[in-house]
Structure 1
Amino acid sequence: MASTLPPPEKKVKVDHDTPLPPSDIEAGSTHPTDLLSREHTDPVLNAKMHLVNDAIDEIGFTPYQWKLFVLNGFGYAVDSLILLIQSIIAGQAALEFSPGWGNGLTVAAYVGMLVGASFWGLTADIIGRKFAFNVSLIICSVFAIVAGASPNWYVLGLFVCLSSFGGGGNLVLDTAVFLEYLPSGKQWMLTLMACWWGIGQLIAGFFAWAFLPNFSCADPSISPDAEPCTYDNNKGWRYVWFASGSLVFVMSILRITVMRLRETPKFLIGEGRDAEAVETLLFIADKYSRSCSLSLEQLQACGSIHKNLDRSKWSPATVGTHLKGLFATRRIGVSTGLIWLSWVLIGLAYPLYNVFLPQYLASRGAEFGQTSAYVTWRNYALVNFSGVWGPVLAGWMCNLKLLGRKYTMVIGALVTCVFFFAYTQVRNQTQNTAFTCIINFCLNVYYGTLYAYTPEVLPSAHRGTGNGLAVSGNRVMGIVSAVVATYADTATPVPIYICAALYVVMAGIAVGFPFEPYGRRSS
């Protein structure tokens, strides 16, 4: 069959085996080579992905991508919003319900996020990005609203878990969908999009600031004369859920009405649906008066992608195919393993540090004083506002040839580690707020880049699965941190230094990543 293929296909195949010589660059593509082109996993798929990348670069950056930046950014915001809301309201809800285990909501949230990331990530690879993109956010919003009406601690935990299940898929899908429409020269914007994570935290802080000081019962441990907490005098945490869920619902509707997302061309190519991929790209080009020279004949000339049509989409063999694809070659396998390890370490280090640090500082004589609820939530909003700007700096840094994605993560992790160690010397409220703002900023330089790097280096056909399992590892560590917080001794500084040292390990792992996406195009 190969002997009958026309010359254009031979040229595409050469593009994937060796760097483009100057003559080919001038005659064909002036764009960077494809990141995974030399891995030889599937020559036909690689050739078609190369043509699709050329078409996306030819169309360029349009208002369609701007819409994706905002509407996909909602998913980032929702993920952080839901995680923070449950931790913010847990104390007030516990005063009303008197639970046996105060960390139960944290575990419920992380379990929901864990299952959601795995399920929606795999779903995105099996039935497509579009369905999961539209449905997951609606599920999250409905159960977030219902959580505000919970009659007891167990029902609240259930609704938190279900809301997190919907929200947990967004972090996986938003990066994949945005990346698969981005021209190569704009891939750095995937890192910038992580600023929405900080915006979600900021919204959570504002909701807490607005409702909790004014509509909450007093803590009997602080005010012995306080009345018992009941439904009537403790509605602040419920208002926080109602407001958050309503906002997420509006976001989910905007996704459907404003965006009307089309299935990504790269997913369609992986499914052998070449005609639909071409139609989608031509639609965008025509809508925004851009040129697109890709044709169905060019894709068909590359050959056919082998798909086992006798196998159910949800069969164990199909799922296994997506898992095997993440280790298709030695370099891809090493890359996948190191990425997953990075997500596990950051998922353990940051929550545990937050768990141990307050008790450690108190044991060393730090005096924060009894600040009002208003001041507490004001400071909380300031800290979250600082986190918005970490990914903005990271987006600029990762687009510098000297740094790229890998060394942006190295710098972010090491600087965070330095301030973590310095934070142990905090002795008053002002220092506490200042250091927390700085750490939140620096941490998001690393975190925001890792969020973007992960889908950039994963094979497109298995991107949802790989990204979902990476985030799932992060959520598992969140559950572990809640358990450790319950039973560990907080008097010793050892866990603090171990958590901070993990950032040095993460910096070392970033150096060892086998792929650098700077100047290269994702599959």
Structure 2
Amino acid sequence: MMDVEAAAGTTAATSLDGKIKSPSNPSLVDDRSIDHGENDLLGGENVDQVLAAKMVLVNDAIDEIGFTPTHWKLFCLNGFGYAVDSLILLIQSIISTQARYEFHPGYSTGLTIAVYVGMLVGAIFWGFSADIIGRRFAFNVSLFVSSIFTVVAGASPNWIVLALFICLSAFGAGGNLVLDTTVFLEYLPSKNQWLLTLMAAWWGLGQLIAGLFAWAFLPNYSCSGPSDCTYDNNKGWRYVWYTSGAFVFLLSILRITIIRLEETPKFLLSEGKDDEALRVLSNIAKKHNRPCSLTLERLQACGTTTKRNTDATGLSQRLISPREVGYHFKGLYATRKMGLSTSLVWFSWLLIGLAYPLYNVFLPTYLASRGASFGQTSQYITWRNYAINNTCGIFGPVLAGFMCRSPWFWGRRGTMIIGALVTMVFFFCYTQVRTASQNVGFTCAISFCLNIYYGTLYAYTPEVFPSAHRGTGNGVAIGLNRIMGIVSAVVGEAANTNTPVPIYICACLYIVMAIVSAILPFEPFGRRSS
């Protein structure tokens, strides 16, 4: 028995009395494997004891290696995906007015629908493929796909073609929010998981870059209205697309040159590839001269993980099929508590999916209409204020990152509650804006507080999903968010966004978000993700 215990592995920081037998070999007992019920977030919910036991050993190895320069690179390279997603999302709203002047479309919010359709399909495709094909392919390819169509969008000859290329650009960018958090989390030591919230600051940086591009080109290269608008005097919005596409292309090149990403060890573990998972961890430890005591024997002592993606001949069958998708959906509802958590997280994404675009996507309209009422009709002032507003949005996730790691704010759930409620207060206050300074001040406060909630939700979502099904759970969450973005575009077409009514709706939605955050069943603070 002592030999088996040594093979399974123990840590000095854990004292355990219970034992779990390996389902593949009842004679094997892994004392260490039941630690997942004490320290791992979903430990008590796992139905696959073999995989759970191996996840504990891999988590121990990641904690033993600690935070390395490789993790800083991943923080930046995955952050690029956050920035591009927000960049593409906001650019279409930034250039929409000038493109309408030139093309005279029949449906004014068509670009908003196009970008959300692209991001919806991208989230579902890249999310499901992440659990079936792997994380690395999307990480290396998605930004490049987005950059090509972003550049081409600037040369669009009409409204329909512009919407098509925006949709295709969003397809590439839309998978990043699914993969970025997943990849980064599955390499992170447990004590550094709060960095997942801080990484959302890249989202604000993408917004800022979009605002700066608009400020640089639109005031100087735009027509004044639909009556005198031609290709020659309205090139500003095209320059925004060209510049943005070049920027995204640069980021895609950096992703494949700065680091040669391998599949995450937790994905490899769920595929039954223990040796490859160990090799990835050993390479990181060796590169940075860190200890890694995990051995293949200790992993194999836990049992054999079922390999779903192979046929009778042992050949790989990595296909996005209804059976595969159904398997991952079932895994997200393996227990009542996990099912409740999954449903509430997805519901949160539905709510923020309506509230966020009703405010941020139509923010240029709000700023212009409010500015006009104060006598500020200059495009330069409008886009200056927009850039200032987006700058403030960067720091919301920074504060959220420190809040969610502190017991004073009740962890992730408490941070989301506080962020949602404070945002709600500023939304109600914004309806009472009476001066130009108040207009800028309250929009900045909303962007800051809104990103406290949004950034924490982005981090919380992958933390509470099991690793084997994390891509699917993330993909559906982001997909639901995009569906509500389409709804917001329809609302924006039918309703008058120059009135404060959409602001009132946003405020009420944040009250509901706070309530949902309070009843979420899992709190990742002080716990390890699976």
Counterpart of 1:462 in structure 2 is 469
Within-5 A mapping of 1:381-460: 381-402=387-408, 403-460=410-467
Q: Which of the residues 127, 141, 145 maps onto 1:135? A: 141
Counterpart secondary structure, 1:294: coil
Residues 48 and 173 (structure 1 numbering): CA distance in 2 closer, same or farther, change over 3 Å? same
Q: What residue in structure 2 maps to residue 163 of structure 1?
A: 169
CA contact (8 A) 1:361 1:424 kept: no
CA contact 2:420–2:510 (8 Å) conserved in 1: yes
> Which residue identity lines up with residue 209 of structure 2 in the other structure?
I
- Closer, same or farther in 2 for the Cα pair 1:53/1:355, shift >3 Å? closer
Asked if structure 1 preserves the Cα contact closer than 8 Å seen for 2:420 and 2:513, the reply is yes
Q: Select 1:320's aligned residue among 323, 326, 346.
A: 326
Aligned to 1:216: 222
2:4 aligned partner, one-letter code: P
C-alpha contact 1:421 1:500 (8 A) present in aligned 2 = yes
Q: Could you say which residue in structure 2 is the equivalent of 1:482? A: 489
Residue 93 of structure 2 contacts residue 362 of structure 2 at CA under 8 Å; is this kept in 1? no
Q: d(CA) in 2 for partners of 1:329 and 1:38? A: 10
Quote the residue 2:39 is aligned against: 33
Q: CA 1:207–1:495 in 2, change beyond 3 Å: closer, same or farther?
A: closer
Rounded to whole Å, the distance in 2 between the matches of 1:101 and 1:306 is 51
Q: Which amino acid aligns with 1:127?
A: I
Is 1:201 the counterpart of 2:207 in the alignment? Answer: yes
Q: Does 1:172 align with 2:178?
A: yes
TM superposition shift of 1:365: 12
| Alignment map for 1:51-62 (pairs within 5 Å) | 51-62=57-68
1:365/1:427 contact within 8 Å kept: no
Find the aligned partners of 2:183 and 2:303 in 1 and give their Cα distance. Answer: 26
- The correspondence for 1:21, drawn from 15, 18, 40, is 15
The structure 2 residue matched to 1:6, chosen from 4, 7, 11, is 4
Q: Is the 8 A contact 1:109 1:161 kept in 2?
A: yes
CA contact (8 A) 2:8 2:299 kept: no
- The answer to whether the 8 Å contact 1:361/1:426 transfers is no
Structure 2 contact 354–481 (Cα < 8 Å) conserved: yes
1:121 corresponds to 2:127: yes
Q: Tell me, in whole angstroms, the C-alpha distance in 2 between the residues paired with 1:61 and 1:368.
A: 51
Return the alpha-carbon distance in structure 1 between the equivalents of residues 127 and 412 of structure 2. 23
Superposed CA deviations along residues 21-66 of structure 1, whole A, max 9, x for unmatched, are 3799xx9799971111111321000000000000000000000000
Give the counterpart of 2:522 among 515, 520, 523: 515
Check conservation: 2:81, 2:177, Cα contact below 8 A: yes
Which residue of 1 is the match for residue 340 of structure 2? 334
CA distance in structure 2 between the aligned counterparts of 1:116 and 1:419, rounded to whole angstroms: 33
Structure 2 counterpart of 1:275: 275
Query: Partners of 2:502 and 2:381 in 1: how far apart?
Result: 29
CA distance in 1, matches of 2:90, 2:362: 18
Question: Is the contact made by 2:285 and 2:291 (CA closer than 8 Å) also made in structure 1?
Answer: yes
Distance apart, 1:351 and its partner CA: 2.4
Partner of 2:235: 235
| C-alpha distance in structure 1 between counterparts of 2:293 and 2:15, whole Å | 22
CA RMSD of aligned residues (A): 2.7
Distance 1:360 1:249, change over 3 A: closer
> Does the C-alpha gap of structure 1 residues 100 and 374 become closer, same or farther in structure 2, counting only changes over 3 Å?
same
- Specify the alignment match of 1:296 in structure 2: 296
Distance apart, 1:499 and its partner CA? 2.7
Distance 1:315 1:479 in 2: 26
Residue 511 of structure 2 corresponds to which residue in structure 1?
504
Deviations 1:158-209 (A, max 9, x none): 0000000000000110000000000001000000000000000000001001
Please give the alpha-carbon distance, in whole angstroms, between the structure 1 residues aligned to 2:261 and 2:391: 30
Gaps of 5+ in 2: 19-30, 312-316
> Aligned pairs, how many?
509
State the shift of 1:319 in Å: 1.2
Q: Distance in 2 between matches of 1:475 and 1:9?
A: 47
Partner amino acid, structure 2, of 1:278: L
Q: Counterparts of 2:91 and 2:247 in 1: how far apart (Å)? A: 13
Tell me: CA distance 1:312–1:384, structure 2 relative to 1, closer, same or farther (3 Å): closer
- What pairs up with 1:243-258 in 2 under 5 angstroms? 243-258=243-258
Residue matched to 2:25: none
Give the conservation status (yes or no) of the 8 Å contact 2:94–2:364: no
Distance 2:387 2:367 in 1: 22
**1:48 pairs with one of 25, 39, 54:** 54
Q: Cα 1:406–1:90, aligned 2, differ >3 Å: closer, same or farther?
A: same
Write the letter of the residue equivalent to 1:318: E
Alpha-carbon distance change, 291 to 405 in structure 1, aligned in 2, over 3 angstroms: same
Displacement of 1:368 after TM fit? 2.6
Output one character per residue of 1:199-229: Cα deviation in whole Å (capped at 9) or x when no partner. Answer: 0000000100111111112225xxxxx7x22
**Aligned AA for 2:303?**
G
Residue identity in the other structure for 2:15: P
Q: In structure 2, what is the Cα distance between the partners aligned to 1:365 and 1:72?
A: 36
Contact residue 356 and residue 496 of structure 1 kept, 8 A? no
Give the conservation status (yes or no) of the 8 Å contact 2:368–2:377.
Answer: no
Report the CA distance shift for 1:5/1:314 in structure 2 as closer, same or farther (over 3 A).
farther
Aligned to 2:73, which of 59, 67, 71?
Answer: 67
The one of 366, 377, 384 equivalent to 2:383 is: 377
Match of 2:156 in 1: 150
| Offset at residue 358 of structure 1 (A) | 9.0
Q: Distance in 1 between matches of 2:215 and 2:366?
A: 26
Q: Which deviates more, 492-501 or 400-409?
A: 492-501
- Measured in 2, the distance between the counterparts of 1:40 and 1:459 equals 9
Per the TM alignment, residue 505 of structure 1 is displaced from its structure 2 partner at its CA by 1.0
> Contact 2:371/2:436 (CA < 8 Å) preserved in 1?
no
TM-score by length of 2: 0.91
Cα distance in 1, alignment partners of residues 457 and 120 from structure 2: 18
Cα distance change of structure 1 residues 93 and 520 upon mapping to structure 2, 3 Å threshold: same
Task: Determine which of 93, 97, 108 is the counterpart of 1:102.
Answer: 108
AA partner of residue 208 (structure 1): A
**Relative to structure 1, is the Cα distance of residues 411 and 9 closer, same or farther in structure 2, using a 3 angstrom cutoff?**
farther
Identity of aligned residues (%): 68
Offset at residue 231 of structure 1 (A): 1.6
CA contact under 8 A between 2:118 and 2:168: conserved in structure 1? Answer: yes
Q: Secondary structure at the match of 2:407?
A: coil
CA distance in structure 2 between the aligned counterparts of 1:67 and 1:22, rounded to whole angstroms: 36
2:97 maps to which of 91, 95, 104: 91
Once residues 285 and 357 of structure 1 are traced to their aligned partners in structure 2, the CA distance between those partners, rounded to angstroms, is 47
Q: 3-state DSSP class of the match of 2:416?
A: helix
Opposite residue 333 of structure 1, the aligned amino acid is: G
**Deviation (angstroms), 1:376:** 1.3
TM-score after normalising by structure 1: 0.92
Task: Quote the offset at 1:433 in angstroms.
Answer: 0.7
Aligned partner letter, 1:185: K
Matched, 1:345 2:339: no
